[in-house]
Each structure stands twice: as structure tokens, then as C-alpha cells.
Copies of this chain bind each other. A is one copy, B any other.
Amino acid sequence: MRISFMGAGRVAHHLAHVLSQHHKIVQIYSRTLATAQTLAAQVKATATMNIEELNPEIDLVIIAVSDQAIASIISNVHQQLPHVLIVHTSGSTDIEVLAQIHARAGVFYPLQTFSLERQINWSDTPIFVEAKSEDDLVLLAELANQLSSHIYSYTSAQRLSLHLAAVFACNFSNYCYDMAKQIVDAQHVDFSLLYPLILETANKVLNNDPKQMQTGPAMRGDQNILNMHEQMLQKAQREDLKNIYQLMSQQILQSHATQS
């Protein structure tokens, strides 16, 4: 297949790299030419910052831009390439955002967190595909199958709830790590001491219900420790961390009090 990308951010970067092993990456579009050029050079594509310059000789356009930019970009791409299959890669954007403008619309959503610093383990990454036509769905499923053995045909509503869950499981747990690091940094204690705990906490829930795996002072209803921790955060003038501590503890406490 001949594939072009709209966007040159983290998702575009990882997808273009892995797809370039099996397919021809034709063009990388970005509003900033330098960004497009960096990725284009890596995957032997050409770079452009003008949608009017999009090469029509392609089989697939992958829109990998921020969710809020998808709606505006699809109109312009549709005018250039009215008959090409166009997908977005967003967990929270309905396929209809594309389909109301462009008939051959689809979704290609890899459920993963992408950083430029990290390689992606594609074979384990679930990919959710959706398309307005059966033929395009087959095409996307075949493409996804070259990357991963976990391909799912999900509706936009199901994808939406997965993405919301992913915000809790990934973005918020990462922010918990961030807060933990800020706490030990302030005492000149090495964050790496928490690595085994972080890994064990994550590995635990791969085989067990997280609710059953809950530990800590709030789960035990240990009010002395809860008060002491809040006072520590108060004394350190970390109202932000204290607010999170209180809200999380209160909910864990309630959820495990009603359970027993």
C-alpha cells in the first residue's frame, strides 16, 4: 500500500516507522515543515506543509493529529483526495466526524501510550478498526494484522469508553508516579527505590481484579496515617497533592467500607 500521514507527532512517528517496513510511506504533512521533514527523512517519504500538494496516487491517508484538529483537516484533505480511504487514529473521536464529510472514512486506533523515547511492542498492542464500508474494514483489519495479533472491530461508542478508561489506567497512573517522584525528590530520596513497587503494582492487576489488589492506609481505614500524610503535605505547602490525597483516600475508604 501507498500511505500518507497527516501529522508528524508521536502517533504518526511510531505508525509511520512500523508501517514503512511493509508499505511505501509517500508523504508526511505537518503545519510546520521541519517537523514533517524530520519524520519524512526517517521513513523515506517526502514532506509537505501544503495540503494542496498531497499526492493523489495513494491508497490510505492516516490522520494522526490532535483530536481538536481532525474536523478542520478532513475538509481540506477530502477536497484533494475525494476517493481515498481516510482514517483517524483517535480513541475519542467518532467516525462520523470524518464520515459526514468523506464517504470512505475509517478509524485505526492503537490502544497504547506513545513516547518518542520508547520503542512500541506492536505485537501486544490492541488495534481497534472501524470503517463505513465492509471492504475498507477488511483492508484496515489486514493492515492492523501485520502489526499486531490483537485486532478488534469496535464501534465508536465502545472505543470511547476504552479511551476514557485508558486515561485513568495510563495518564492518571503516570501522574501518580509523577507526584510520587516530587515527594521523594523534595527529601533527596532516589525515585528508583520505588521501581519494584511500581512494577509489582502493575503486574498484579494483569491477573487479578484491581479492587481486590488494593492496599494502603485508606483501604485499611487507618485514619492516623491518613491524617499524618495530609499534615505532611500541608506542611510542605503542597495543597495540590493534598487535594488528590484526600479525594483518592476518601473514595478508596468508601469503596472498601461498603464492601466489607
Contacts and interface: CB of A to CB of B under 8 A. Distances in A.
A76 interface: no
B240 A68 contact: no
B168 A215 contact: no
B160 A232 contact: yes
A162 B177 contact: no
Contacts of A248: 171-172, 175, 244
Assembly of this chain: how many copies? 2
A225 to B, nearest CB: 5
A73 to B, nearest CB: 14
Interface string A190-222: 011111111111111110111111111111101
Interface string A174-198: 1111111101101101011111111
Contacts of A216: 167, 170-171
Interface residues of A, number: 94
A219 B68 contact: no
Contact of A204 (B118, B211, B220, B244): B118
A146 B231 CA distance: 36
Contact of A126 (B167, B193, B202): B193
Nearest to A218: B171
Contacts of A244: 168, 172, 247-248, 251
A5 to B, nearest CB: 18
A79 interface: no
Contact of A252 (B168, B175, B197, B222): B175
A68 B220 CA distance: 10
Given A174-B205, A247-B247, A181 B194 contact: no
Given A165-B180, A195-B206, 9 more contacts: A115-B215, A160-B232, A162-B189, A168-B245, A173-B173, A173-B177, A178-B211, A198-B202, A244-B247
